[in-house]
Amino acid sequence: MSHWMFNCKEVSRRVSESMDRKLPLYQRMLIRMHLLMCKYCARFRRQVVMLRKLCRSHRLNENFSDPNASLSPDARERIRQALKPSSE
């Protein structure tokens, strides 16, 4: 890898990494330069951003307040019984 330019493999790895943490300024600049020249990496970045937004919106729409909300009382009881320690 050249010191002044990232290749596609490096850009895709760093684009994914940038979803979890803020990259240093020089890396962000190198990525941006590459994205201006490479339509495939630019498309990959758009897809990653879109998937992240979709996952976040899906997570916000789910009901996480009650983990037992989708279990019937009978199913909860069967699980409770299965988790009881044996009396042996």
**Per-residue pLDDT reduced to its tens digit, 34-68:** 999 999 999 999 999 999 998 888 766 665 555 55
Q: Looking at the domain assignment, is residue 54 inside a domain?
A: yes
Q: Looking at the domain assignment, is residue 23 inside a domain?
A: yes
What tokens were used for 12?
Answer: 């895709």
Q: Looking at the domain assignment, is residue 81 inside a domain?
A: no
Please give the pLDDT value at position 68.
Answer: 52
Q: Looking at the domain assignment, is residue 66 inside a domain?
A: no
From the list 81, 77, 53, 76, the residue with the least C-alpha distance to 66 is: 76
Is 28 within 8 Å of 34 (Cβ atoms)? no
DSSP 46: H
Q: Looking at the domain assignment, is residue 79 inside a domain?
A: no
Q: Looking at the domain assignment, is residue 86 inside a domain?
A: no
Tally of domains in the chain: 1
Please give the pLDDT value at position 16.
Answer: 94
Q: Looking at the domain assignment, is residue 12 inside a domain?
A: yes
Does this model's pTM top 0.85? My answer is no
**Per-residue pLDDT reduced to its tens digit, 71-87:** 788 888 888 888 887 66
Give the Cα separation of 51 and 49 in Å (integer): 6
Q: Looking at the domain assignment, is residue 5 inside a domain?
A: yes
* Residue range(s) defining the domain that contains residue 48: 1-61
